[in-house]
Structure 1
Amino acid sequence: MKLFILGIRGVPAQHGGFETFAEKLALFLVGNDWQVTVYCQEEKGEKIWESDWQGVHRIHIPIKSSGAKGTVAFDWKATCHALSQEGLFLTLGYNTACFNILQRIKGQTNIINMDGIEWRRNKWGPVAKTWFWINERMGCWIGNHLIADHPKIKEHLATRVRNDKITMIPYGGDEVLDADASLLELYGLEPHNYSIIIARPEPENSFLEMVSAFSKKTRNHKLVVLGNFTPGKNGYHKEVMEAASEEVIFPGAIYDTAIIQSLRFHARFYLHGHRVGGTNPSLVEALGAGCAVIAHGNDFNRWVAGEGAAYFIDEASCEALFGELLRDENKKIKMKGASRRRFQECFTWPKILQEYERLLMSWQTNASKE
């Protein structure tokens, strides 16, 4: 049983949700006697080289360009290299799905995880949105089978292809039962006396609405806003920071896993303002840490966090939730329990990875018969 994973920068994970998932899946499958190969993007070197990491075979492709241009170049080279391989292919994301037509022509079996509806995101300009829209369409047609990470994403994809071509498998997360509270001292915080936002500071993630709502009055409570803010370069960042009261803290972007886990685990509330996307990894991680969740009330978030979370639709309703919930200890405890139950029900890694293996096995069997 051979699987090749494309569409990410590589393993071990260093760049976000898809890389984390790829690492988890690769190690899980290797433990179940699969031969797993992951294509990895490298900044140095002239020639492609190979290595092994914890039983996972890696093919390293050096790319001189950086940013989006480098990603496109890497995906092209990885796809071309994959044409000479035999096995099953899993592509994570559809951003360069037009390249995968080569695999379809070659007769290779390629399953594509279609990620979110990227072309709807406000942060992209017209050219990028057009590119993503075209590649979403092509991914739907070219992929032998599609994976949606949320029921609403599956509904969206079903407007492009027949329903039985899509399998819904959400993103997974680790359960966190304890975290080092002493790390909070780095930011002058005390357990349960602050709430937290962890996201990219973009308009579609409702930063301005949440920070403004919190800052309407003195709360005797802190709001910690993680993210890379550059108010001198980004007008939206400047607007968010100017709307913040003295009780709002901007520590910047934090990449230390232990610190982030501690900040998330000991927060009174986890605020999630995302308005676009499927099963968001940061929201799943909040459920896994047993956080009481306050989220934007769209269909994506409501399915993930479930009935135990509190939801807002605008700044006024967010402000009302702060006024109601910051004083209600019993409600907070009930919300935390609901988050853990929802996590156990849908988002544990063993459950997610087993669902992936079952799907891959069905296609492996079909490929073997052919």
Structure 2
Amino acid sequence: MQHVFIIGSKGIPACYGGYETFLEKLTENQKSHDIKYHIACAEDKASEVGEFEYNGAQCFKVLRKPIGSAQAITYDIDAFKYCLKYIQENNISHPIVYVLACRIGPFVGRFAKRLHSLGGILMVNPDGHEWMRAKWSLPVRHYWKVSECGMVKHADLLVCDSRNIEQYIHEEYASLKPQTTFIAYGADIKRSTLSDHDQKWTEWLKEHGLSPFNYYLVVGRFVPENNYETMIREFMRSNTKREFALVTNVNEAFLEELEEKTHFQEDSRIKFVGAIYDQELLKKVRENAFGYFHGHEVGGTNPSLLEALASTRLNLLLDVGFNREVAENSALYWTKESGSLSSLITHADRLSKDDIEKLDAASTRRIETEYSWPYITDLYETLFLTISGEE
């Protein structure tokens, strides 16, 4: 039996979030009976700490200490300590500890040494360029970069969810001779269970003054590096008669900043509709958008992009390596240059039904062949069973 301990996510069952959804789908689609997953789950109440089983995985709750921004770091450290103790007490041979993200780089060396002494393997998912995110202060960004270096140095294998990230790891840390492999994030290719007449869907449309296939859409974290300013400014420059629905949990300070820069409140087509946590409703919203804007420029394979390619007919993406790697020729591309996106919106509005259907078929095929969750799960199972010589 291959025991795989996964830490670094908030845990399962997944409510929202990329790593949480990954673990949900990894365990839900498990085929091999030779793998046992152990998954760290964040818990804020000491009285609730304990273990439970979900999707066949042994889940262990780890208390998150109420210490502000350092909370995620101590959570990962405590989860790693739990794994090492469990491995030793249960005499588990050739265990794998898979750490999601690079939060504990300055501290991981001693844990890696202990894991190796128990015959284990340390795998790390480096995520994206967290140290480049504008939301972090300079000291925090410096910590992220130092931490990333530590994780690369001590990992036996880095699992990159983007070939661009994999290339970056080899170029940035060439002196460390990192061992890497590429396994992408996945997407669900099933259509929404909501019908066109479902009350939940029709009321959402009515509440926000929208109609099917008559709105552009964006779904993502409300942060500067996702280029909300560019998308809003360019949409306002366009003459499209369609609406622009922004599905995001807004930060008031950033919202005020955007208003000062763009005066978007003067454009009735622009509608902040809030976050949508009902996954079937969100999928329905994607399926009925005329087009999807994707402005992410930091990170690896982005979950919201995969979901858009799986569900939305027409996708307009910021032209960066991460996005082209995923969508290839199944999408249209824009740059941050003034006039680029507004011109592309005009072009998109004039596309024929046949042109849109061709792009829709290509994006769906891209997800089915390279990014479906069953396919991604198979790749992970093969890796887990072969890295320690069990298969």
Give the TM bin, normalised by the shorter chain: over 0.9
**Equivalent residue, structure 2, for 1:181:** 196
- Pick aligned residue for 2:132 from 114, 120, 128: 120
Q: Distance in 1 between matches of 2:231 and 2:249?
A: 17
Q: Cα gap change, 1:258/1:47 in structure 2, threshold over 3 Å: closer, same or farther?
A: closer
User: 1:100 Cα deviation (Å)?
Assistant: 2.5
1:98 pairs with 2:106: yes
C-alpha separation between the residues in 2 aligned to 1:205 and 1:248?
Answer: 17
Q: Which amino acid aligns with 2:296?
A: H
Residues 162 and 183, structure 2, Cα contact 8 Å, conserved in 1:
yes
**In the alignment, is residue 295 of structure 1 matched against residue 317 of structure 2?**
yes
Matches within 5 A, 1:195-234: 195-231=216-252
Match of 2:343 among 320, 325, 329: 320
- Deviation sequence 1:145-184 (CA, Å, 0-9, x none): 1111111101011121577710011110100335533413
Provide the residue aligned with 1:274 in structure 2. Answer: 296
- Written as runs of structure 1 = structure 2, the 5 A alignment for 1:305-344 is 305-314=327-336, 315-330=338-353, 331-344=355-368
The answer as to 2:375 corresponding to 1:351 is: yes
| Mapped partners of 1:273, 1:78: distance in 2 | 34
On the 8 A contact 1:30/1:56 being kept in 2, the answer is no
Structure-2 residue corresponding to 1:165: 179
Asked if structure 2 preserves the Cα contact closer than 8 Å seen for 1:230 and 1:237, the reply is no
Q: Is the 8 A contact 2:239 2:346 kept in 1?
A: no
For 1:190, give the aligned amino acid. Answer: S
Given that residues 245 and 272 in structure 2 are in contact (C-alpha distance below 8 angstroms), is that contact kept between their aligned partners in structure 1?
yes
The TM-score normalised by the length of structure 1 is 0.92
CA RMSD of aligned residues (A): 2.2
CA change 1:10–1:67 in 2 (3 A) is: farther
Correspondence list, 1:144-159, <5 A: 144-159=156-171
Task: From the superposition, tell whether residues 221 and 169 of structure 1 become closer, same or farther in structure 2 (CA, over 3 Å).
Answer: same
Instruction: Give deviations 1:85-139, integer Å, cap 9, x for gaps.
Output: 1321111111223333233211131111111111112221111111110111111
CA distance in 1, matches of 2:146, 2:160: 18
Aligned residues of 1:41 and 1:60 also touching (Cα < 8 A): yes
Checking the alignment, whether the CA contact within 8 Å between 2:100 and 2:127 is kept in structure 1 is yes
Letter aligned with residue 26 of structure 1: T
Contact 2:72/2:103 (<8 A) preserved = no
- The alpha-carbon deviation at position 361 of structure 1 amounts to 1.1
- Which stretch of the first structure deviates more once superposed, 336-345 or 324-333? 324-333
Identity, in percent, stands at 28
Paired residue secondary structure (1:97): coil
Partner of 2:75: 74
Residue identity matched to 1:351 = Y
For residues 81 and 356 of structure 1, the distance between their equivalents in structure 2, rounded to whole angstroms, comes to 23
Q: Any conservation in 2 of the 1:89–1:110 contact (CA below 8 Å)?
A: yes
How far off its partner does 1:237 sit?
4.0
Output the amino acid matched with 1:236: E
**CA deviation string 1:59-78 (max 9, x = no partner):** 11122416532212211211
Q: Which residue of 2 aligns with 1:20?
A: 21
Alignment-mate amino acid for residue 58 of structure 2: H
Structure 1 unaligned segments of length 5 or more: list them. Answer: none
Residue deviations 1:183-235, cap 9 Å, x none? 13443322111110111122211111111111125422111011122445654
User: Are residues 1:243 and 2:267 paired?
Assistant: no
Query: Which residue of 2 is the match for residue 63 of structure 1?
Result: 64
How many residue pairs get aligned? The number is 367
Aligned to 2:385: 361
Alpha carbons of structure 1 residues 232 and 144: separation in structure 2 relative to 1, 3 Å: closer
CA distance in 2, matches of 1:139, 1:16: 22
Q: Does the 8 A contact of 1:103 with 1:109 survive in 2?
A: no
Relative distance call for 1:313 and 1:351 in structure 2 (3 A) is same
Aligned AA (2:179): K
Distance, in Å, in 2 between the alignment partners of 1:91 and 1:270 is 32
Counterpart AA for 1:88: I
Q: Is the contact between residue 227 and residue 295 of structure 2 (CA under 8 Å) also seen in structure 1?
A: yes
Amino acid at match of 2:245: V
- 1:30 and 1:58, CA in 2 relative to 1: closer, same or farther beyond 3 A? farther
Q: Secondary structure at the match of 1:98?
A: coil
Tell me the secondary structure at the aligned position of residue 165 of structure 2. helix
- Secondary structure at the aligned position of 1:225 is classed as strand
Letter in 2 for 1:327: R
Distance in structure 2 (CA, Å) of the matches to 1:70 and 1:33: 34
Q: Residue type matched to 2:187 in 1?
A: G
Measured in 2, the distance between the counterparts of 1:317 and 1:258 equals 33
Counterpart of 2:195 in structure 1: which amino acid? D
